[in-house]
Structure 1
């Protein structure tokens, strides 16, 4: 599951902005073979009196923390390419509006991840393809946890 936590000053994003940004982030992952339901985007407003950068209050900074569990980057080159694409998705909502931002990705061991109490199928397996088709976690036979 890629979990995106977007910390922002209130008023930075409209409801339409949030929906569009979440949809664009989801499309990025779906285009790389993940089920849409794996993608979680949380918009977390932080009031200016609680938002400090460099020890000073700010109303022009967006902080994004992304946790990757379903897939890992095979190399730094792949990570750089993905982050560039990700930042291109963010640009109309953040950079183009004159805001400052910071993004970082955390890679989490998939062995500690469950969906609705189910062990998550391995990438590109028959079971994962069924999860993609249904767009939800469903029980599967271990024999379907093979490349398909």
Structure 2
């Protein structure tokens, strides 16, 4: 599951912006074969009086922290390619509006993750493809937890 936490000053994003950015982030992940329901985007507004960067109040800075659990990058090159694609998704909402931003990605141990109490199927398996098709976590037979 990729969890995206986006901290921003109120007014940086409209409701339409938030919906469109969340949709575009989700499309990025589904293009890699992940179920859409894995993608969670949280918008966390921070009042300007509580937002400091470099010890100074800031109103034009967006901080994005992403947790990856479902997939990990096998190499730095793969991570760089992903971040380039991710930055392209962000650009119309952040860069092109003159905001400053920072993005970090954490890779979390997949063994410590459950969806509705279920161990998520392995990447590319028959069971995961069923989760993609249904767009929800459903019980599966372990025989379907194989590449198919």
Q: TM-score, structure 2 length as denominator?
A: 0.99
Distance 2:136 2:121 in 1: 12
Deviation of 1:132 after TM superposition, in Å, equals 0.4
SS at match of 1:27: helix
Matched, 1:94 2:94: yes
Q: For residues 45-64 of structure 1, what are the structure 2 equivalents within 5 Å?
A: 45-64=45-64
Distance 1:85 1:121 in 2: 25
Distance 1:121 1:58 in 2: 42
Unaligned runs of 5+ in 1: none
Counterpart in the other structure of 1:127: 127
Deviation of 1:145 after TM superposition, in Å, equals 0.6
Matched, 1:6 2:34: no
- Aligned pair count? 148
Distance 2:33 2:40 in 1: 16
Distance 2:45 2:35 in 1: 27
Distance 2:129 2:84 in 1: 27
Counterpart in the other structure of 1:70: 70
Q: TM-score, structure 1 length as denominator?
A: 0.99
Q: Which runs of 4+ in 1 moved over 3 A?
A: none
Distance 1:87 1:34 in 2: 19
Distance 1:126 1:98 in 2: 44
Unaligned runs of 5+ in 2: none
